[in-house]
Structure 1
Amino acid sequence: MNLSEHASAEHEISTAAVSRKQYLFPLILITSLFFFWGLVHNIDPTLIAHLKKTFTLNNLESSLVDFSVFIAYFLMAIPAGIMMKKWGYKAGIVFGLLLFAGGAFLFIPAANTHQYFYFLGALFIVASGLAFLETAANPYVTVLGPPQTSSFRLNLAQSFNGIAAAIAPIIGKYTILTNTEVTNESIQNMDAATKAKFIEEASNSVKAPFMVLGLIILAVAIIFIFLKLPEIKAQSSSVKEKSIVEIFKIKHTRWAIIAQFFYVGAQICFSSFFLVYAENAAGLDHHSSSNYLAVYGALFMIGRIIGTIFMRFIEAPKLLAIYALLAVILTIVAIFGSGTYTIYCLLGIGFFISIMFPTIFALGIKDLGEDTKTASSLIIMSIVGGAVIPLALGYIADITHNIQYGYSVPLVCLLVVLYFAYKGYKPSFNK
């Protein structure tokens, strides 16, 4: 799930073209940001599985990792916009990088406390920084070069999210996941001293990767402080925009906001609980399932590329409906099946949900004209579904004692997306 794909829809930008020598290095740095926040988002499943075992959490408690990340996005969206409107996008990027680095460094004292709550706090700070970065990065990508190639630069930068999705699980596998041979049952049978030592070792495994990440991000922040970037100025308009209430009365936009809420929630459920699901449904340990998770990330990226090509020949709502229906079928199999083939179902789901965010977004702002910016903000804020929906999955999995039954939650979410693709997308400016 990726906000960076739609930040450009929130901003109307005018700027003079700059020479290749002037924009190449800034473009490289801006593009690196897409990779870094993709890395954080896609290491969350590893963190959830690792912290769940370390602190013997239930599914609802472990889903607070996603809650901490996405509630930060929701709470920081407006402050980020206000700050950048007052001081500019460069200030927003630098501030976001400093928050990002600071949150990464906070994983060290969090590990020292051996308390789950402090890990959640560190994640919240990291995600707050990402909210600033994702709000600012796309406008810079669009101006760092000739206007006629802005779409190419944007798609190129976004592709680094997909690269991060494939790499992050492998990094997590070899740096964070420890004592994978220790079972949940053996942890419960440990005496107090042995369990305390296990928690200490497992907590410490998180220190090194986040310390390295923090140092890299801090170095990037310092570079940005001294880097001269093109000015970005929003175009003024004399046309009065509709209010939030008026925008929400527009049928296809209202349904896009609802569909995006449920889609983001579903996407986070599928990825974040991947390792937990693989352990329970297919009997795989976390190291083995990390390889599948990397494939999941790669298929998500490939699915987006192929879906974009298909849209040249198939109408977007129709393709969205086909993909949503196939994802629904695979989810049903994942809920009631057992064995390794259920993992292949999750991989297929990753492919088919890949086009949903951008497609829902584009259909939701269709024909809005001057009201596009306000509608875009509302659709983007609906990513708070990533904070709420996983809690429901965790709760159902806990009360049924079956993580697979918990996947009935993203199933319902996909049905909402299917309805949007079938009927809810149709432009209507009536209530």
Structure 2
Amino acid sequence: MTTGSTTKPASSSATSRENSYTFALSALTALFFMWGFITCLNDILVPHLKNVFQLNYTQSMLIQFCFFGAYFIASLPAGALVKKISYKWGIVGGLLICAIGCALFIPAATYRLYVLFLGALFVLASGITLLQVAANPYVTVLGPPDTAASRLTLTQAFNSLGTTLAPYFGALLILSATATVMAGATPEQVEAARVAEANAVKLPYMILAVAFFILAATFAALKLPRVDAAEDLEPRASSGSAWQYRHLVRGAVAIFLYVGAEVSVGSFLVNFLGQPDIAGLPEAAAAKYVTYFWGGAMIGRFIGAVAMRYVGDGKALAFNSVIAILLLLMTVFSGGHVAMWSILAIGLFNSIMFPTIFSLALHGLGRHTSQGSGILCLAIVGGAILPLMMGGFADTIGIHLAFLLPIICYIYIAYYGLMGHKPN
């Protein structure tokens, strides 16, 4: 009788906790969708503001520099904040900051100042940094540790759904202004076109600001499970800091290079597909093809969420990196539709990289998980530095040869998948 009376409540408690975890993961899918959408919209802003302000490639890459530079500045404070206020309220705070950043696009477009656009992007990215620091480790601890990579890959698939839809959304509401207004040659018409192009960002970013405010209110009202960062699972993490784990540090380097490579490729797609020797597409048409790049990442993450239950995380990461290297070599040393589809296909193999690196790097950190997450998000600054470098290469040796840079990144990621992720 005693055994029966104690076993039943334990089972009921476990079921209740499992259900609350499922609900929390479901709620987080909308969050992952939104920050994927807003991040990928930068790939449309780069060619758009390049036209508005008559920028070269290096200057236009300041968009990604300011956006991903925010990760470097905000990540460690965000990690400390999440540890203090909990994952849930970190998410709410991040959503509110994102809403403010989107709203700042209105005065930026009104006054047509590039520096204001860059400032708005910095605020927006600071909010996304807080979301990343809070939500990624939250997903990893909402369930068994051995399925953390699969779980994070699944939620990242919805992030990829956002990145898949964003280029099409941007082509219709932002880049279409270029195609319809720029049909004139007089100074007055050109000036009117510049004004129309700048104003084209107002409606999309106001819609996004409202969406972020609604999400913040929703998450504030939700009763999400309180989960500590696995403090009792790894006794060896009871002292020191996350920096003592060399596989975490190597993982931070891998995140730096991966995000830098992904952002570099994505940022140049519209301009690359517009090259006469590649596809010669106008910007609005090229932007729609960017959907294939991010759509491949989405499909790959859904496949990876299942496949990685049977294939080792490190082996999957190394395999995808090698394929990405081969596709980049095909892009650089070919032209026309071969180069076009080779570069677009990289998205499929990018799919599992970020969540896999993230979960491998956080493995075994115990109570240092939130600090480790902050360090990994700090490394996302690669998305600021490497695109700027690639912009410099594009201005000097041409956009085609500039794609040699990401190859170096994927070589290191392949090493991390094979050996670098192992704790020692």
SS, match of residue 335 in structure 2:
coil
User: CA–CA distance in 2 between the matches of 1:23 and 1:308?
Assistant: 17
CA drift of 1:134 comes to 2.3
Q: Which residue of 2 aligns with 1:9?
A: none
CA drift of 1:16 comes to 8.0
Q: Which residue of 1 aligns with 2:92?
A: 94
Question: Which residue of the other structure, out of 369, 383, 386, is the alignment partner of 1:386?
Answer: 383
Q: Which 5+ residue runs of structure 1 have no aligned equivalent?
A: 1-14
Q: Which residue of 1 aligns with 2:53?
A: 55
User: CA–CA distance in 1 between the matches of 2:22 and 2:413?
Assistant: 39
Q: Equivalences for 1:173-322 in 2 at 5 Å?
A: 173-181=171-179, 192-234=187-229, 236=231, 239=236, 240-243=238-241, 246-247=244-245, 250=246, 252-280=247-275, 281-311=278-308, 314-322=311-319
Aligned partners of 1:18 and 1:145 also within 8 Å: no
Aligned partners of 2:137 and 2:370 also within 8 Å: no
Aligned partners of 1:320 and 1:418 also within 8 Å: yes
CA drift of 1:273 comes to 1.5
Q: Which residue of 2 aligns with 1:348?
A: 345
- TM-score after normalising by structure 1: 0.82
CA drift of 1:135 comes to 2.2
Aligned partners of 1:266 and 1:389 also within 8 Å: yes
User: CA–CA distance in 1 between the matches of 2:306 and 2:81?
Assistant: 37
User: CA–CA distance in 1 between the matches of 2:85 and 2:248?
Assistant: 31
Aligned partners of 2:160 and 2:297 also within 8 Å: yes
Are 1:405 and 2:401 an aligned pair? Answer: yes
Are 1:395 and 2:382 an aligned pair? Answer: no
Matched AA of 2:280: G
Q: Work out the percentage of aligned pairs sharing the same amino acid.
A: 38
Question: Which residue of the other structure, out of 70, 73, 95, is the alignment partner of 1:72?
Answer: 70
User: CA–CA distance in 1 between the matches of 2:414 and 2:20?
Assistant: 45
Q: How many residues align?
A: 407
CA deviation string 1:124-171 (max 9, x = no partner): 111111112222235666788999999887555333112112211111
Deviates more, 1:205-214 or 1:255-264: 255-264
Deviates more, 1:321-330 or 1:53-62: 321-330
User: CA–CA distance in 2 between the matches of 1:371 and 1:91?
Assistant: 19
SS, match of residue 282 in structure 1:
coil
Question: Which residue of the other structure, out of 22, 40, 43, is the alignment partner of 1:42?
Answer: 40
Are 1:169 and 2:167 an aligned pair? Answer: yes
User: CA–CA distance in 2 between the matches of 1:165 and 1:378?
Assistant: 24
Q: Which 5+ residue runs of structure 2 have no aligned equivalent?
A: 1-12
Deviates more, 1:91-100 or 1:373-382: 373-382
| Gap change, CA 1:227 and 1:359, over 3 Å in 2 | closer
CA drift of 1:215 comes to 1.4
Matched AA of 1:259: A
User: CA–CA distance in 2 between the matches of 1:78 and 1:369?
Assistant: 17
Matched AA of 1:204: N
Matched AA of 1:404: H
| Gap change, CA 1:112 and 1:342, over 3 Å in 2 | same
User: CA–CA distance in 1 between the matches of 2:186 and 2:221?
Assistant: 54
User: CA–CA distance in 1 between the matches of 2:102 and 2:109?
Assistant: 11
User: CA–CA distance in 2 between the matches of 1:277 and 1:160?
Assistant: 27
Aligned partners of 1:324 and 1:352 also within 8 Å: yes
User: CA–CA distance in 2 between the matches of 1:215 and 1:118?
Assistant: 20
| Gap change, CA 1:108 and 1:17, over 3 Å in 2 | farther
Aligned partners of 2:153 and 2:355 also within 8 Å: no
Aligned partners of 1:19 and 1:145 also within 8 Å: no
User: CA–CA distance in 2 between the matches of 1:149 and 1:395?
Assistant: 41
CA drift of 1:392 comes to 0.5
Aligned partners of 1:143 and 1:230 also within 8 Å: no
Are 1:414 and 2:422 an aligned pair? Answer: no
CA drift of 1:388 comes to 0.7
CA drift of 1:48 comes to 0.9
| Gap change, CA 1:368 and 1:79, over 3 Å in 2 | closer
| Gap change, CA 1:236 and 1:420, over 3 Å in 2 | closer
User: CA–CA distance in 2 between the matches of 1:315 and 1:403?
Assistant: 36
User: CA–CA distance in 2 between the matches of 1:310 and 1:154?
Assistant: 13
Matched AA of 1:277: F
User: CA–CA distance in 1 between the matches of 2:313 and 2:19?
Assistant: 38
| Gap change, CA 1:159 and 1:306, over 3 Å in 2 | closer
CA drift of 1:37 comes to 0.7
Aligned partners of 2:96 and 2:127 also within 8 Å: yes
- TM-score after normalising by structure 2: 0.83
CA drift of 1:256 comes to 2.8
Give the RMSD, CA atoms, in angstroms.
3.4
Deviates more, 1:150-159 or 1:314-323: 150-159
Matched AA of 1:169: P
CA drift of 1:105 comes to 0.9
Q: Which residue of 2 aligns with 1:7?
A: none
Matched AA of 2:54: T
